[in-house]
Amino acid sequence: MKNKIDTVDLMILKELRNDCKRPMRELAQTLRMHPNTLLQRIKRLEKSKIVRKYHADVDYKALGYDMHAMVMIKIKKSGLEDEHLMDAVAKVPEIVALYAVSGAADVVAIVKAKNRDDLVRILSYIQSQKSVLRTTSYLVLVTYKESYQFNPLVPGPTKS
């Protein structure tokens, strides 16, 4: 059975996406709800796994990770079934996201590296995996929007 989400739940989710560290009383006041009611609703959203985790927005550049790259990985025909490959690549700490995709590439890795040598080390490791045929890397020059900024609860642009 699907969880029933109403307008109030959507408003709660929108506010949590904007700032999940806000004090409960302040959030309740913004939403014009009693704090206990708000807490019960948040607990229900967590229990139903609609709210899975709370995250910190980390400035990787401030930590010295100046290289941001998307690495397209082409693998052998049975590569997606090669759990060792996915586990080995996913365990690289600098790989912040790993996706199986359709299209020219089979897998996309999002990489944060400290410098060019660090990125070369990561790419060499990926390329050394037996199921990997080739990689194509794209350096990110400017970031306009991060994935954590996606909020389906905010209406998108409309046709003019």
| Residue 28 φ then ψ, to 5° | -60, -40
Q: Assess whether 31 and 83 both reside in one domain.
A: no
Q: Assess whether 67 and 119 both reside in one domain.
A: yes
Inside any domain, residue 52: no
pLDDT score, position 111: 97
CA distance 59 to 24: 26
Inside any domain, residue 151: no
Inside any domain, residue 81: yes
Contact 106, 80 (CB under 8 A): yes
Q: Assess whether 79 and 117 both reside in one domain.
A: yes
Write the DSSP assignment of 88-123 as a string of letters.
HHHT-TTEEEEEE-SSS-SEEEEEEESSHHHHHHHH
Contact 123, 70 (CB under 8 A): no
Residues 6+ apart with CB under 8 A from 116: 67
Its pTM stands at: 0.77
Inside any domain, residue 160: no
SS3 70: strand
Q: Assess whether 76 and 127 both reside in one domain.
A: yes
Per-residue pLDDT of the chain (160 residues; tens, 9 = 90+): 466 888 899 999 989 988 899 999 999 999 999 999 999 999 999 999 999 998 888 888 999 999 999 999 999 876 667 778 889 999 999 999 999 999 999 999 999 999 999 999 999 999 999 899 999 999 999 989 887 777 776 677 777 6
Nearest alpha-carbon partner for 151 in 16, 7, 38, 6: 16
- What secondary structure letter does DSSP report for 4? P
Domain CATH number, residue 108:
3.30.70.920
Domain CATH number, residue 15:
1.10.10
Number of domains in the chain: 2
Q: Assess whether 43 and 98 both reside in one domain.
A: no
CA distance 20 to 22: 6
Nearest 5 degrees, angle CA 45-CA 6-CA 2? 60
CA distance 29 to 11: 13
Domain that holds residue 26: 7-47
